[in-house]
Amino acid sequence: MSGFPGGLVVVILLTAVAGSIWMIFDIVMALLFYSMALLLLVIYHLRYLTFLDRWLQIPDPSSATLPDGSGAWGDVFARLARLMRNQNQSHQQLSLALERLQRATSAMPEGVVILDETNRIEWCNPVAEQHFGIDFKRDASQQITFLVRQPQFAEYLSILNYSEPLIVKQTRRQELILSLQLVPYGDKQKLLISRDITRLEGVETMRRDFVANVSHELRTPLTVIGGFFETLSEENWISSEMGKRALVLMTDQTKRMQRLVEDLLTLSRLENTQNQVQEEPVNVAEVLHELYQEAQSLSAGRHHINFSLDTDVRLKGSLDELRSAFSNLVSNAIRYTPNGGEVDLSWKSQDGQGVFTVEDSGIGIDLEHIPRLVERFYRVDLSRSRGTGGTGLGLAIVKHVLNRHQAHLKIVSEPGKGSSFSAWFPKKRLIVQKNE
């Protein structure tokens, strides 16, 4: 702005001089003088404009010195120089911050990949290069699904629910097991964090195999012992009262161990990720009828048992696994409901999901225990659980079966009033009948 009044003063001065010439000489002389003076003024400004234009055409103007200027142009060049200095400073600060950030992320033990909204790689650290067998220089802007080819990963990316990490076996490096976690941020960008859990998985596999092997080894001797005990009690070979009592006790304990071994084997089968869920149509109405019969035989007339079927939607999944999970819920309801109580079984569709519920008017559960019920061997009352033939593994089995079917368990309970256990199945697990 300071150049403008200077320019105005020059024009006013020239006009005044031209006016004086007009008065002293004549109008022609005055106009001649005025035109010449304006022409010189234009040439002066054009010269500096040319300097500025040349300077702006240099590929990196900030590296070349600005031309010197006088008057208004001096001001313009000085301001431009200041602006360039400030810009250079903030550029340097930004580069330093970026370098620090890159050094920090490179030192991280986790792999980090920045994905844009179309899941193309924007940046990744060296650990991610190792994990995914990629080279950032070569693979920048590539679709991440071209490089991480597991179908579960493509599905994980598309469901947009990244609350749980995904475990994948890296096929480019067979021995590597990765835990992948996506974190959405900014403008539809995503951070893909990879952790090498090969050793952890190795220990977990060892634990699973050990439990499965021990259970398997125990199965046969227990069957033999149980068989002998049964024969002994049937044939009435033991005559003393003490011997008879001991035989009953030994038979009960053997049965308990057999149940435990069976439950442990079921759990290790469910935990084995190689063991894929069978995808068959499951007629829940039929299963519900069977469970109703089972509940009646377990209850032996001690409870009022009802069932309601509000939909004929079928489930896509494994019949054996689902039947075992539902049967555990039914058996719990009977075992934890005093005589004369009610047990209701139902299958309905709600909010687009399939809901299987077992409700009882039994002893109920304190709120503090509810989050831990699905842990192995967690019991609210150990003697009650054992007394009714429990193994402490029933709800752990239920949780695993539901997880494998992308379903979740909802528990509502009040001590002294009763409990409700519902399994919620997502829409993709439902097969809607044509007449629905």
**Residues of this chain that bind ligand ADP (CB under 6 A):** 328, 332-333, 336, 360, 362-363, 365, 373, 378-381, 385, 390-396, 419
Q: How far apart are CA 313 and CA 292, in angstroms?
A: 18
The two counts, helices (H) then strands (E), for the chain are: 13, 13
User: Is residue 362 classed as helix, strand or coil in its secondary structure?
Assistant: coil
Nearer to ligand ADP, 116 or 342 (CB): 342
CA atoms of 132 and 151, how far apart (whole Å): 15
Q: How far is the CB of 222 from ligand ADP (least distance, A)?
A: 18
Closer residue to ligand ADP, CB minimum distance, 217 or 375 = 375
Minimum CB–partner distance for residue 337 and ligand ADP (Å): 7
- The least distance separating ligand ADP from the CB of residue 332, rounded to whole angstroms, comes to 3
CB contact burial 286-312 (16+ within 10 A = b; e otherwise): ebbeebbebbeebbeeebebebeeebe
Shortest Cβ distance from residue 94 to ligand ADP (Å)?
57
Smallest distance from ligand ADP to CB 360, Å? 5
In the structure encoding, which two tokens stand for residue 389, read together?
A: 């033939």
Q: Sort strands 430-431 and 418-425 into parallel, antiparallel or unpaired.
A: unpaired
Nearer of residues 363 and 430 to ligand ADP, judged by Cβ: 363
Alpha-carbon span 436 to 424, nearest angstrom: 19
Q: Which is nearer to ligand ADP, 132 or 421 (CB)?
A: 421
Q: Tell me, what DSSP letter sits at residue 388?
A: T
Composition of the chain by helix, strand, coil, percent to 5? 55, 20, 25
> Min. distance of Cβ 124 from ligand ADP in angstroms?
43
CA-to-CA distance for 353 and 371, rounded, in angstroms? 23
Minimum distance, C-beta of residue 242 to ligand ADP, in the bound complex (Å)? 30
Phi-psi region of 173 (alpha: psi -120 to 50; beta: other; left: phi over 0): beta
- Of 184, 143, 134, which Cα lies nearest the Cα of 162? 184
